[in-house]
Structure 1
Amino acid sequence: MTSPQPKATLHLIPVGLGDAPINDWLPSAVQSVAGGLSVYIAENAKTARAFLKLMQLARPLQEITIHELGPRVENTTLEEWLRPLKSGQDIGLVSEAGCPAVADPGSRAVTIAHNWGMNVKPWVGPSSILLGLMASGLDGQRFAFHGYAPVDATERAKQLKLWENNSAKNKQTQLLIETPYRNNAMFAGLLGNLKGNTRLCVARSITTSEEWIRTLTVAQWKTQPPPALDKHPTLFLFLAQ
């Protein structure tokens, strides 16, 4: 009687948040797993290839299949990419930066793997959301990540005030990000719309040589020179009183 074939695994592998030595942010065990896989699903194929070039690979990079999970990819296509799991082949899932399936479309692949009864393995690595929250000094037990605020200044002001009201009501830290070239506008919008006693943390370029994290009240921020945020990946966190 033959034993059943072991279930394959979808490996959730974090990638770097910026330019920094890989050993500073990814354990060697995770590097070993990542370097041994021959199929990947990635938010961005270019950044996935750059990530793989940082480690020892079991095969030439050209022989590694990388499927790009863009917003227009249908579930039927995603299922075809994941089908090797059913024949016992492990697959890697990576985000453009940080942890896959967290503020990332990779959660669709994870859902399919669970529906098929496959193993899903999250690996240790950098998450700007958690690292920023850790370093902020704000409430780490109750928090909400919102992604991007509206680009339009009027709509952004309304949304920030709503999030601030929710923060005060629920004693909940609010987290958001912005496209790096709009960081300065976002910072100005936060100072212009939040109350003076709301505590605001700015976490820039986490894990890189440009890392800079500071928490002050909005009133205190207004007395300081604005931080250099242009073109730097930045996380904004605030907690209302």
Structure 2
Amino acid sequence: MPAASPPTRTAGVLHVVATPIGNLGDLSPRAQQVLRDVAAVCAEDTRHTRQLFAQAGIDTPLVALHEHNEDAMAQRLVERLQAGDSLALVSDAGTPLVSDPGFRLVRAARAAGIRVSPVPGPSAPVAALSVAGLPSDRFAFEGFLPAKAAARRERLAALAGEPRTLVFFESSHRIGEMLADAEQAFGDGRCAVVARELTKLFETVLDGTLAALRERVEADPDQRRGEFVVLVEGAGDDDDGARLAEGRRVYALLAAHLPPSTAARLAAEITGAPRKALYGG
């Protein structure tokens, strides 16, 4: 009689697990159970995740998965999943893949027929939207703007006519510059919100015009510390506001190749926006 074939092992599951953005009490019971049950947890920064695990009493092995090694690691992790290991994916804070690594692993797992299951929870953009008092039925998440000033201003100018609420991440050492550039791109009267250190001890949510928020942040060093979500109201439906937003967008594109006065004149002719509002020269 031929020997029986060994049973085929069922492929594992890749769990994408949201973790707290500040308050450790936001780690859900389901998330804790999944993180305990899997064979290993793929973490952006294992040192950071190890601190979270210590607080929650979790001792699951950690595997480093970050932007520098994700390409190399994705196939190895898929092989583990195919062999039957279930894994979890976490970022340093919040929901993975939202301005964090993990996209390549998820794509590779799905391409291999592996089940990918979300364990939802905290998300800084959604948390900020929920308390901002800005329209939230339609919004555009832009993540981090470019670090270099010229590229940042060009990106903001391109968004000046966007009708949806805009959501950005920003760092403490660029928040002042970002607000100043947003004021220039969108106009000083555009409504906005600066949400800082959400769910943490020194959480603040400031609202007002971009000009008022810039002044507030510039005047108070405490408002330049921590992690930020910045929300900007979308361009209005009024003709003047939409025309000015489009004029600023076109001006920024032209000014990269033409003298400012020429770029402003052409942008005004193209869009009907007032030239002086585009360029003060």
TM over 0.5: yes
Does structure 1 retain, via aligned residues, the 8 Å contact 2:180–2:214? no
What are the equivalent positions in structure 2 for 1:47-126 lying under 5 Å apart? 47-57=48-58, 61=59, 64-73=60-69, 75-126=71-122
C-alpha deviation, 1:16, in angstroms: 2.0
Who is 1:181 aligned against?
173
Who is 2:265 aligned against?
none
Of the candidates 9, 12, 15, which is equivalent to residue 8 of structure 1?
Answer: 12
Higher CA-based Rg: 2
Matched, 1:214 2:218: no
Unaligned runs of 5+ in 2: 237-281
What are the equivalent positions in structure 2 for 1:186-201 lying under 5 Å apart? 186-201=178-193
C-alpha deviation, 1:223, in angstroms: 6.6
What are the equivalent positions in structure 2 for 1:128-207 lying under 5 Å apart? 128-165=124-161, 167=162, 171-207=163-199
Instruction: Mark the CA change 1:217 to 1:52 in structure 2 (over 3 Å): closer, same or farther.
Output: same
Does structure 1 retain, via aligned residues, the 8 Å contact 2:196–2:228? yes
**How much identity, in percent, do the aligned residues show?**
25
What are the equivalent positions in structure 2 for 1:38-53 lying under 5 Å apart? 38-53=39-54
CA shift digits 1:15-42 (9 cap, x unpaired): 2223x2x22x122122122123331212
Who is 1:236 aligned against?
230
Matched, 1:36 2:28: no
How many angstroms apart in 2 are the aligned matches of 1:235 and 1:153? 19
Which is richer in helix?
2
Unaligned runs of 5+ in 1: none
How many angstroms apart in 1 are the aligned matches of 2:73 and 2:27? 30
Instruction: Mark the CA change 1:93 to 1:143 in structure 2 (over 3 Å): closer, same or farther.
Output: same
The TM-score with structure 1 as length reference comes to 0.83
What RMSD, in angstroms, separates the aligned Cα atoms of the two structures?
Answer: 2.5
Instruction: Select between 89-98 and 131-140 the one with higher mean Cα deviation.
Output: 131-140
How many angstroms apart in 1 are the aligned matches of 2:217 and 2:66? 39
